[in-house]
């Protein structure tokens, strides 16, 4: 008879998210994962299969967390423009809340492993598409209430804002100026 698990699988995956997010897939060793999760190498492999499988679980877990945050933001009664500003601020505040100013885990994963593994790439694309869809919904709200320009398709504007936020996160890693970031956000919002 198999022994029951003596650990919380979600807590292990959350620890793996933090490891992979702070580092990269390649530079996060199995020993690092064992240290952060408190599991032995054999327990880690028995529960999750491989380091790659745990990485995929971490990407999925991150996406689930972000989808929950996005759903909560969409409950706001604010205008589309005000909500868009909140969405951008929430994304960037996450980065500033970490001492290393790490960019979105999805961005890191895209740069790290996303193009070499079809399953990882598909998982990352689903997460990116979810963010695009949320931004598009917010922009449509703004177009309906008159707070966001309506002469361009909401989907195009949503992807543009997403690209802007991703680029700003990468730039903040090398030029950490909160004031510059605020000015850049004002500029993008002025274009909308």
Query: Could you tell me the CATH number of the domain that includes residue 65?
Result: 1.10.357.10
Quick check: is 95 in a domain? yes
Look at the pTM and tell me if it is higher than 0.85: yes
Quick check: is 94 in a domain? yes
Quick check: is 54 in a domain? no
Query: Can you give the pLDDT at residue 110?
Result: 86
Distance CA(84)–CA(164), nearest Å, equals 13
Query: Can you give the pLDDT at residue 114?
Result: 61
Quick check: is 4 in a domain? no
Quick check: is 16 in a domain? no
Quick check: is 128 in a domain? yes
Rounded (5°) CA angle 162-163-166: 85
Query: Can you give the pLDDT at residue 5?
Result: 57
Q: What sign does the CA torsion over 99, 103, 106, 111 have?
A: negative
pLDDT band at 4 (very low <50, low <70, confident <90, very high): very low
Q: Name the domain count of the chain.
A: 1
Q: Is the model's pLDDT at 147 over the cut of 90?
A: yes
Quick check: is 155 in a domain? yes
pLDDT digits (tens, 9 = 90+) for 79-131: 999 999 999 988 888 888 888 888 889 888 888 766 678 999 999 999 999 99
Find the domain containing 168 and state its range. Answer: 59-191
Average pLDDT, the chain: 90
């Amino acid at each position: 008879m198999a022994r029951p698990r003596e650990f919380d699988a979600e807590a292990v995956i959350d620890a793996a998210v933090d490891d992979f997010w702070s580092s990269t897939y390649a530079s996060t060793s199995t020993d690092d994962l064992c240290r952060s999760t408190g599991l032995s190498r054999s327990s880690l492999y028995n529960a999750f299969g491989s380091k790659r499988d745990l990485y995929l679980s971490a990407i999925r877990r991150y996406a689930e967390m972000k989808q929950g945050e996005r759903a909560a933001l969409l409950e706001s009664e604010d205008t589309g423009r005000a909500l868009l500003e909140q969405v951008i601020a929430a994304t960037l505040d996450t980065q500033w809340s970490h001492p290393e100013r790490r960019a979105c885990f999805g961005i890191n994963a895209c740069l790290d492993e996303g193009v070499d593994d079809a399953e990882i790439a598909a998982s990352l694309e689903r997460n990116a598409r979810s963010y695009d869809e949320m931004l598009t919904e917010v922009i449509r709200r703004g177009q309906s209430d008159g707070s966001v320009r309506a002469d361009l398709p909401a989907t195009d504007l949503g992807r543009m804002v997403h690209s802007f936020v991703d680029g700003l996160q990468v730039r903040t890693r090398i030029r950490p100026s909160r004031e510059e970031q605020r000015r850049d956000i004002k500029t993008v919002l002025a274009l909308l």
